[in-house]
Amino acid sequence: MKICKVSVIILTKNRALLLKQAIFSVLAQTFKNFEIVVINDGSTDETEETVEEIIKNGAPVNLINHEVSFGKTYSRNQGLTSSLGEYVCFLDDDDEWIDNGKLQMQSDYLDKHPQAVIVGSSMLVVDNTTGSKILGKKKRSESDFLIRQTMLLKNNFFTSTVMFRRREALAAGGIPVGNKDEAEDYSLWLRLGLRGKMYNFRETFVKYRQPNYDKSRLKTILNEQMGLMEKFKNLYPNFFLAKSILRLRIAYLNFWANIKMR
């Protein structure tokens, strides 16, 4: 069993073409000491055949197939426990890495900063249809101090930008199976932040497709975040401000839901 420095975990379902682009963006990295763990969560398209073809061409990919879908929480956790790397990255199947130095820069940072447990970056936001229209750029605070001050106000790490220490993630409980498939990444970041320092690169490492969430889905996400805020209210600052802002956002969604029903 070959031990590698970095494990890249990609959860996928029925997105064979986008998955292929995501995998190729990893293979284009200048840093080569990695494995790719693809969790095929019950796809009914040509996902399995697409990945098998990439493996035949020599790519370091470990494919785990589910006959039925188990969801994001179970699958991410399976990828985390099945991976071999010292460091772990998540990459969503509809995202791509656009900086070939991502793995090198982030692994170097964690090597040089043993107290750091997670690093992220900015990301380029594109449309969900073609992926070619640039909608903007999202970034988060860089320093551990600023990240910690706003950790309850917002999710300070974009999933496909992160690299974190696998050992620390497992010690923090990983992604507990049984959680709802919303904000499962945010839950892990909050627990990792209690175990060490956090950092965000100013560079833009990822192209992110903007999802088209309806108001019901957004409300579910916000309610999950509210639960996390309550759980960590004594462990991070600005709880009451964060709770007030989130309540206003939920009230706004409820208002428009009521208007639509009339």
Residue-level pLDDT at 67: 96
| 101 contacts: CB under 8 Å, gap ≥ 6 | 29, 30, 31
Mean pLDDT of the region 51-71: 96
102 or 219, greater pLDDT: 102
Mean pLDDT of the region 60-74: 95
Residue-level pLDDT at 2: 65
Mean pLDDT of the region 97-109: 98
Mean pLDDT of the region 136-162: 96
Asked whether residue 151 carries a pLDDT value surpassing 70, the answer given is: yes
Mean pLDDT of the region 164-176: 94
CA 116 to chain centre: 18
In terms of C-beta density within 10 A (0-12 exposed, 13-18 middle, 19 or more buried), how is residue 149 classed? middle
Asked whether residue 179 carries a pLDDT value surpassing 60, the answer given is: no
116 or 182, greater pLDDT: 116
C-alpha–C-alpha distance, residues 36 and 17, integer Å = 17
- Of the candidates 82, 89, 129, which has an alpha carbon nearest to the alpha carbon of residue 105? 89
Asked whether residue 65 carries a pLDDT value surpassing 90, the answer given is: yes
Chain mean pLDDT for the chain = 93
Structure tokens at 216: 């019901």
C-alpha–C-alpha distance, residues 183 and 225, integer Å = 7
Mean pLDDT of the region 221-226: 88
The position carrying tokens 């990695």 is: 34
- Confidence band of 57 (pLDDT split at 50, 70, 90): very high
Rounded to 5°, angle at Cα 98 from 95 and 99:
135
Asked whether residue 235 carries a pLDDT value surpassing 70, the answer given is: yes
Residue-level pLDDT at 257: 58
- Confidence band of 113 (pLDDT split at 50, 70, 90): very high
